[in-house]
Structure 1
Amino acid sequence: MYSINIYRFLLTASIAVAITLSSCSMRTVRIQATRPADVTLPSHVDTLLVLNRTYFSSQAVGIIEGLLTGELPGEDRAGTQAAINAFQSTINYSNRFVVKNAAEIFPGNSISRAFPEPISWGDIENLCSKYHTNAVMAIEIYDTDFIVTDGKRLVKKEITENGVKKTVETNEFYAKGVGNVTIGFRIYDPVNKVILDQQLITQSNTWETTANSAQDALAKLIAKSDAARYISQLAGNSYAYKIAPMPITLTRKYYKKGKNVASVATGSKQAEVNDWAAALETWKGSLLQSTSDKDAARICYNMAVAHEVLGNLEDAKLWANKAYVEYGSKKAKKYSAILDGRIYDQNRVNEQYK
């Protein structure tokens, strides 16, 4: 048993050392890229008008909805505005659309979570003409609830008594609030008179507080209106990501040096100061000097990363393949698959920016 434990310890230690050495032999570079939108909107749609269509068409329906959900007057309006603000703030990170806000509020919301009848094309055309936009993104459903539960439970707590630490069980009072929101988004294209997208976005979040009494725990819990605004912001942010290409940051690792080729380290230093074109030329020379598959694989891998940093994804793919096919780099095989995904995404982004 003793020898087995020693073996396990040495094996674990050797793995840890290998991981450490591997990470120390590589540098990290961050690459700015663009994530494609889930929904591709036509190229003629570049200016969106955001319209609030959550006003209840019947005052009686609005009163009933308030009684059923416990919402105070204005809470839905504040939540809807929070979603609109988050949508606009997030979509501004993309240069795909210009977004404007309509001053009008149209009727349409219901308590059934079913989309209302579409807005007439005459109204859509009038709105686009008034605000100089070429599509309308309407929020047509807004439904939120906030469920509060409270109670007490036994918890273990460490205390010091007469200079001695000990663990005791004590009552802890808690309050938990679960907020849910469902928002219906719909995009109208007046040019082709089609609804380009229609989605229900749901978001939820849980808050919990603890105290020495039930009353204090409830008092510390987030207010329903604040919870509604928070989850509404999440929904607005989520929909912006669905329809707009967004900037993202990727990380890649490349080798600091070769085993027998000194110029690999020179290229790595050039890359470190962001002179990737020079690093690429240096590594081309390094490959000619290489006498081992291990060095050649590292050099080809580094050249693949350099091409990706410079935006040459197809060339990056070629060099990653070379590192694997000709020199057996398993890391390059995984990288090649990652580049396949990047090429696919970039083609989608290019299509979305046409």
Structure 2
Amino acid sequence: MRSLVYLGFLSLLLFSCSATHRLSMTVTEPAVVSLPKNVQRVGIINRSIPSEGKGTLAKIDAILSAEGMQLDRDGSQAALQGLADRLRTSNRFEAVVILDSLPQLAKGTLAMPAALSREQLRELCATYGLDAVFSLAYYDTATQVRAEIGMREVTGTLGIPVKVPMHRLDLTTALRSGWRIYLPQVPLPVDQWEYTDYLRVSGQGINPVEALESIRNRKERVLDISRQTGFVHGSRLEPSRIRVGRDYFVRGNDSFERGKRLAQTGAWNEAAQLWEAETAHPKDKIAGRAHYNMAIINEINGDLEAAHSWAKDAYAIYGNREALRYIRILERRLAAQAELEMQLSGLTPE
């Protein structure tokens, strides 16, 4: 017990004596996928027809839902609609069209099929006046069943409790889909991504049929998940905002202590004035930490170039080792910012 108390005290001491403090900030990341500005008309195709080769899985689905392969058909259509909704609400494109009745392009596979050939893609774009094609390359639902039999007490016809068999069915449905984006002038897909989601439902009854009939809205829930998958997939073309963590120095002299308290109240500019005054400190350790903190405050204010300059001086002139790692972070952010600005201005290279 004494050892545990000692270890707890030591951990608290080390934490309280840390030279840095953690902050979090929101940064904007560029879209995962960039398309040229001249891509204005896009088509969405479904290559994912239910395959007769699904065998047992398709039969299980037919028994469970009385829908069989229709569940895959409806689910894939819901996924296409979700993607179309996301692309249309982004206001990025002049036209977003779901293309039906393209059996020559459909494949009944359970994984990524061969990519569209360049000839197929160019013919598709020429026929429908498209600048890009979004493809649902495959879509599949597979259900696993776990059955249990127990006993349940019910009231009989004479009011006497009797025990009857109780059947329980646990269904786990995996929804898998794969997506691609094509440009007619590029020989390979410019993006490829896959998703796997799960739906778990249960039912019970005095026999397996009643247990199955007690499961409600399974199809509707599959369609909702599929629609959401398509909607989320469309976000790959949009910038995203994420939270990141940064450490800044709170120890060295009284200016760092006061700066910490100001920062904790949101007075970052007042804290920066204290840190900037310490950048000329005669001790390299203090000056280096002050330069590092100035890099942090400039990143908070959105000036990544200035942040990079302060961080470089913190390491190159004053030997602050934490600054070297931070320099790499800022270099990645500068590259991401350049890509983001290019995306937002519509100057994505063609």
SS of the residue aligned with 1:98? coil
Aligned to 2:173: 178
> Residues 18 and 211 of structure 1: is their aligned pair in 2 closer, same or farther, counting only changes over 3 Å?
farther
Q: How many pairs are equivalent?
A: 318
Relative to structure 1, the CA distance from residue 260 to residue 199 in structure 2 (aligned partners, 3 Å threshold; closer, same or farther) is closer
Equivalents in 2 of 1:79, 1:148: separation in Å? 20
Give CA-to-partner distance per residue, 1:84-116, whole Å, 9 cap, x none. Answer: 344356567978x33743254132333234358
Correspondence list, 1:23-34, <5 A: 26=21, 28-34=23-29
* Pair 1:11 & 2:7 matched: yes
Point out where structure 2 has 5 or more consecutive residues left out of the alignment. Answer: 151-165
Pair 1:102-2:94 in alignment: no
Could you say if the C-alpha distance between residues 267 and 90 of structure 1 is closer, same or farther in structure 2, counting changes exceeding 3 Å? farther
Letter in 2 for 1:342: R
Alignment of 1:274-285 (within 5 A): 276=269, 280=272, 282-285=274-277
The range that moved more, 258-267 or 103-112, is: 258-267
What are the within-5 Å matches in structure 2 for residues 1-354 of structure 1?
Answer: 6-7=2-3, 9-20=5-16, 22=18, 26=21, 28-37=23-32, 39-45=33-39, 47-54=40-47, 70=62, 71-72=67-68, 74-88=70-84, 97-98=92-93, 100-102=95-97, 104-108=99-103, 109-113=106-110, 114-115=113-114, 119=120, 121-128=122-129, 134-151=131-148, 175-189=170-184, 192=185, 196-197=189-190, 199=192, 201-205=194-198, 207=200, 209=202, 224-226=218-220, 228-233=222-227, 235-237=229-231, 239-242=233-236, 244-253=237-246, 255=248, 259-262=252-255, 265=258, 269=262, 273=266, 276=269, 280=272, 282-288=274-280, 290=281, 292-324=283-315, 326-327=317-318, 329-350=320-341, 352=343, 354=347
Evaluate the alpha carbon distance shift between residue 75 and residue 252 of structure 1 in structure 2; reply closer, same or farther with a 3 A threshold: same
CA distance in 2, matches of 1:60, 1:318: 58
Q: Relative to structure 1, is the Cα distance of residues 13 and 134 closer, same or farther in structure 2, using a 3 angstrom cutoff?
A: same
CA contact (8 A) 2:249 2:293 kept: no
Amino acid at match of 2:306: D
- CA offset at residue 217 of structure 1? 7.3
Any conservation in 1 of the 2:181–2:191 contact (CA below 8 Å)? Answer: yes
Distance verdict in 2 for CA 1:62–1:222, change over 3 Å: farther
Which residue does 2:157 correspond to in 1?
A: none
Find the residue that maps to 1:111 and give its secondary structure.
Answer: coil
Return the alpha-carbon distance in structure 1 between the equivalents of residues 206 and 324 of structure 2: 59
RMSD over equivalenced CA pairs, Å: 4.6
Task: Report the CA distance between 1:29 and its aligned residue.
Answer: 4.2
Deviations 1:156-205 (A, max 9, x none): xxxxxxxxxxxxxxx9966241313233434243xx37554363624132
Of 327-336 and 305-314, deviating more is: 327-336
Q: Distance in 1 between matches of 2:311 and 2:333?
A: 13
Greater share of residues in strand: 1
* Residue aligned with 1:262, SS: helix
3-state SS in 1 of match to 2:38? coil
Provide TM-score, normalisation by structure 2. 0.67
8 A contact 1:142–1:181 mirrored in 2: yes
Query: Shift of the alpha carbon at 1:148?
Result: 2.4
Q: Secondary structure of the equivalent of 2:302?
A: coil
**Would you say the 8 A contact 1:88–1:99 is kept in 2?**
no
Q: Is the 8 A contact 2:42 2:133 kept in 1?
A: yes
The one-letter code sitting in structure 1 at the alignment partner of 2:140 is D
- Gaps in structure 1 of 5+ consecutive residues: 154-170
- TM-score normalised to structure 1 length: 0.66
Is the Cα contact below 8 Å between 1:267 and 1:282 reproduced in 2? no
